[in-house]
Each structure stands twice: as structure tokens, then as C-alpha cells.
Amino acid sequence: MKRILYIVLMSAALLAGGTSCDVLDQYPHDAVSRDNLSADDLELLFTGLYCYSQYKPSFEGYFQNDMAGGDFTRGGGSSYATPQMWIRDCILATSGWMNGPWTGYYSWLYQVNEFIYAASRAEQTDRVREMLGVAYYFRGLIYYNLTSKYGNVQILRQATNDPVANSPAADCWAFVEENLEDAIEMCPEFTSKNYVSRQAAKALMARAKLGQGKKEEAAVLAEEVIADPAFDLADFDQIFRGVSNSEEIFTYINDVEESGICFAAQFYQPATTYVPTQDVADLFISADKRMNISVMQDGDETVLNKYNNLTSTNPIIVSRLAEMYLISAEGKGLSGGGLERLNQLRNKRGLPNVSPKTEDEFLDAILAERRLEFLGEGFRWFDLVRTGKLEETLGMAEKYNIFPIPQTQIDLNPNLKQNDLWK
């Protein structure tokens, strides 16, 4: 039988104590046959899957939604007069801001698909099923990001370099849900924020449902996570200063030996920093317990203060409980009792209740809360897109409601077509 070899990147130096890479006394394989894996081989490849997945989207992949959402611009010597100028410069089919994350997601997908192939052919023990569930979670996360950003993307169920055509966005969303359904069924129960769990899969499914406008379904899933005794809202400084808390549902440890992504280096060094606009900084009031953790004055710049480890790396939060409160609120709507969840979160953050009178006012209140709660966490652009508010909020053309498919990818694949708004 032909042996098909593939490379899986793993950490050679794994941290003890809550790390996402849990094999502390073994070296990962450089290459193995996916058709002839031992149980130990599969465990090592699974460890590598965690290590690989956290950095492949690149910093740009994590920060695209904040950059395109208008709440950040460039500081230091390369500053732009407005976020809109920066958006027009960076959201281009020829830009590295588009191509880098695209190639990162598909490179990550290749490894996930190879693991699924190998694990599906192994003896289906409870442990193997759990590992498969985690792999399906990762594939759902990849496709959530690709679909919400680029729309009509390629659906690849197997690792391949064949020139596959785009699929309609509706099919891509269905693929997200298919993978997350498998993840919810197969993933292990929550034990640590640094491991994918069934609860993490539910949280991501709630996000995907909301992104498609399936609000009632999103609210049900969010409420299931909120009701889970493993989680509770935490103080903001606990979440972003490495203090043990019950709010984080899934977080990449992003250890320096495993990843080159250091968020703090992007936000604190004036020559290359990305800075929140003064408009968004001014929205924080002194009573808001998020203010000093979210923004601070650094010389003559107002900087994002959530990621402050300049000498190493910062954890990358994928899901936390505050999002579930706001998904539940939006999903239920004002008439369905969503206001209670919104005000519960506000009260936890030191703010008084709000009392919107109409559904439109209620949605605006939720978006305002999401803007402050998740500043610099990768939500703002898609929040404006999915609610139809991007053009009026930023004064941008319709085409900015979707990212262009990178021209480099179209040049390499004649079956890949550009999104209509960017042709």
C-alpha cells in the first residue's frame, strides 16, 4: 500500500499546568502514515492539532474584524487620518490582510482533514471519538471564519490540492453546522478552558446560528451554556490578566514555544501599533469596570490594554460567557425577555440597567454593549455586517460587507471565482 506522508507541526517543548498541549514527555512525529497509525501516533498528532490551530490564522486573521469594523487605525509613524482610509487600503484582493488569513485557514484545514481521515480509520474507542469531536470543532471554527468573512468559499471534506470551485455561502454555513453538530455529540465535557469541550462547541454553534439570523436557535444554545455550572461571569481583570476564572469557555494558551503571535507587540509599540479610535475610547465611562483593561493612555496614544505581555505571548480567547449573555439577549429580543440578560451583563460590568422601548432600540443597545465588551476580540465588523448596519455606520460602500477572495488564490485556481461585489 502506498504510504501517504504528511507533516504536522507540533511543539517540542510543552508547558505543564493547564496547557493545551498535554503530552509532556514525548516528542511529536515529523511524519507518519495516516493509514497505519498506532494509538500513540494518533495522540501525538492530536496534540499537534492543538498546537497548529492557534497560530495559522495569523495576527491578521484574528484582527481582521476589528480592523474592518472601524474601531481601530494605525498609530505611530504610519498613522491614517481615519479608519476608513485604512480599510480602503487593506481590504483589497491583492492585500496580505486578505491572503494571509485565507492561506492560514486552508493550511490549518489540511491538517484537520488529515487527522479526521486517520482517526476515522482507527478503532473507534471513546477516546478516538472525543478526538474526532475536537477535530470537527476545529473544522467548524475554520469554516465559521471563512464563511463569515469571504462568503462563497471552497468546501473541502478531504485534504486535497485539487482546484475546487466555490460553494454558495448557504452551503458553507450548513457545513459549519454539520461539523459543530458532530462536535457537540462527540467532544468531551468541559474540564479546562484550554481544551475544546462539548460546551465550547455549543458556544460556537450559538455564534454561527446568530450569524445566519437564526436567533431563537442561537438563544436556546446560549442559555444551555449559561445554565452550565462550570461557567459564571467573571471580573474583567481576571479574564485578561491571567487570573483563574469561570468565564472562559475555550482559550488557546498561545504559548511562546508554539506560536509567534504576540498581540501586545502589535498594540504597544508606537511605530507599528494598532490603536483604538478616540471615538470608541470615549464610549467607556468611569463606572465601567472594563475601561482600564480595555483602553489606556500610553504616551500620546490611546492603546488597547487587554493584551499586555510584551515579552511573551497572550492567550487567545475563542469563546467566553459574556458572548452567551449577549447572544441570548439578541436571540430572545426585547419582547422575548432578552433585556434581562443584557442588564445582567451590564450590572456585572458596573453599569446601570438600560430601558429600550422598541426592538430597534434594543438591538442598538446590544450592539453598543458588544462593541465595548469585545473591543479587540474580533467581532465588530461582522456584527455590523450581519445586522445590516455597516454602510450607515462607517459610510462605506456595499462591497465592504464581504471580504474579497485573494487574487493570488484565483490566479492559482481557475475554478475559484471572485465575490460579485468585488468583480
Question: What does the pLDDT look like over 199-234, one tens digit per residue?
Answer: 999 999 999 999 999 999 999 999 999 999 999 999
- pLDDT reading at 60 higher than 80: yes
Tell me how many domains the chain contains: 1
Contact present, 304 and 276 (Cβ < 8 Å): yes
CA–CA gap between residue 209 and residue 386 (Å, rounded): 11
Cell readout for 105 is 485557514
* Whether the model pTM is above 0.85: yes
165 touches 415 (CB < 8 A): yes
Report the Cα 146 to chain-centroid distance in Å. 11
Q: Which residues of 198-223 are buried (b: 16+ CB within 10 A; e: fewer)?
A: bbbbbbbbbbbbbbbebbebbbbbbb
- Confidence bin at 27 (pLDDT 50/70/90): very low
Do residues 178 and 157 lie in contact, with contact meaning Cβ atoms separated by under 8 Å?
A: no
Do the domain assignments include residue 307? Answer: no
Is 305 a domain residue?
A: no
For the ranges 239-248, 264-273, 289-298, 389-398, the lowest mean pLDDT is seen at 264-273
Q: Please, are residues 11 and 21 in contact by the beta-carbon 8 Å criterion?
A: yes
150: cell is: 469571504
Establish if 273 belongs to a structural domain.
Answer: no
CATH number of the domain that residue 248 is part of: 1.25.40.390
Consecutive H or E run containing 320: strand 316-320
How far is 25 from 46, CA to CA, in rounded Å? 15
The alpha-helical segments, DSSP class H, found in 212-358 are: 215-227, 236-240, 263-268, 278-281, 291-294, 321-332, 338-348
Q: Hunting for cell 448557504 — which residue is that?
A: 170
pLDDT for 309 equals: 76
Quick one: pLDDT band at residue 272, thresholds 50, 70, 90? low
> What is the reported pLDDT for 77?
62
User: Does residue 81 form part of some domain?
Assistant: no
Between the CA of residue 13 and those of 26, 49, 376, 417, what are the distances in Å? 10, 15, 29, 42
* Residues composing the chain: 423
Q: Calculate the average pLDDT of the chain.
A: 89
Report d(CA 120, CA 199) in Å as an integer. 23
Say how far apart CA 13 and CA 240 lie, in whole Å.
25
Residue 112 maps to a domain: yes
For residue 49, the SS3 value is: helix
User: How far apart are alpha carbons 209 and 158 in whole angstroms?
Assistant: 25
Give, as one character, the DSSP assignment of residue 358. S
Which pLDDT score is estimated for 6?
A: 35
Q: Tell me if residue 403 falls in helix, strand or coil.
A: coil
Domain-located, residue 98: yes
Instruction: Judge whether 53 and 10 are in contact, CB under 8 Å.
Output: no
Residue 160 has pLDDT above 70, yes or no: yes
- 204 falls within a domain: yes
The residue type found at 363 is L
pLDDT score for 326: 98
**pLDDT tens-digit profile of 293-339?**
999 988 778 899 999 877 677 899 999 999 999 999 999 999 999 99
What pLDDT does 52 receive? 83
Q: Which residue has the higher pLDDT, 148 or 73?
A: 148
The domain of 236 spans 5-74+92-258+313-396
How does pLDDT run across 349-406, given as a tens digit for each residue? 999 999 999 999 999 999 999 999 999 999 999 999 999 999 999 999 999 999 999 9
Question: Which pLDDT score is estimated for 268?
Answer: 80
- Which pLDDT tens digit goes with each residue over 107-139? 999 999 999 999 999 999 999 999 999 999 999
